[in-house]
Amino acid sequence: MEFLTNLDQRLGEMAAQHGALVYLVLFAIAFSQTGLLLGPAIPGNTVIFATGMLASGADPILGWPLAAGSLFAGGAVGNVANYAQGHKFGRAVFERKESGMISRESLAKTDAFFAKHGRWTMILSPFVPFVRSFAPFIAGVGRMHLPPYLTWGAIGVAVWVVAIMLAGSALGQVPWIRENIGLALILIFAIVSAQIGLAVYRKSRAKVTAR
């Protein structure tokens, strides 16, 4: 817990003691977020936000391009690894039963979902803990076509990394936010999610009214 509450200091110390190896750590953390089903155990958004803080200011500890590139590469490679696991192993599990949550019936629905919504799922899923760890695996189970999966998955990871690093650069200089990174991120994403939910609700209401 102490590591999480002083994440910017820990990353700064790591950069000072181990130099360029800190970028390998960032790669590994991003990989764990999209490549491992246990990725949510590590607070990926908090790590990226703290990285943005350390890569900005008058005397940045980390290089912005290298940090963003390391996080992007880790997330993109993780997407591919998790997709491969779902494609090779997950589908066989679903095919064992005819009905139920894990069954051929659910598999057919998964195939249809990714055929229709795969693009937006891969763009938005990196922002949501747990979802970013499971979406690539389920995309593999649903056999989303690989070229669009790679394209939209890479775009999603890039937007995720850059957006949160920019937020860290812009807001990380505020003392309260710097001392409460986790809580600040929860509040930011709650506000953004509420705005998105409200926009979707209004759009659906407009469609209903138009009918």
pLDDT level of residue 128 (50, 70, 90 thresholds) = confident
* pTM of the complete model: 0.78
* N- to C-terminal Cα separation, the chain: 53
- Report d(CA 34, CA 137) in Å as an integer: 9
Task: Encode pLDDT of 135-144 as tens digits.
Answer: 899 888 888 8
pLDDT level of residue 199 (50, 70, 90 thresholds) = low
Residue 78, CA distances (Å) to 83, 98, 132, 163 in order? 8, 31, 10, 19
The pLDDT mean for the chain works out to 80
pLDDT level of residue 72 (50, 70, 90 thresholds) = very high
- Report d(CA 124, CA 158) in Å as an integer: 11
Q: Which percentage of the chain shows pLDDT scores above 70?
A: 75
- Report d(CA 77, CA 15) in Å as an integer: 23
Q: Give yes or no for a contact between 78 and 135, defined as CB atoms under 8 angstroms apart.
A: no
Output phi, psi for 91, to 5 deg: -65, -40
Write down the H helix ranges in 142-180.
146-171, 175-179
Q: What is the pLDDT of residue 5?
A: 47
Q: Give yes or no for a contact between 126 and 75, defined as CB atoms under 8 angstroms apart.
A: yes
Exposed, middle or buried by CB within 10 Å (0-12, 13-18, 19+), for 111? middle
- Report d(CA 211, CA 138) in Å as an integer: 34
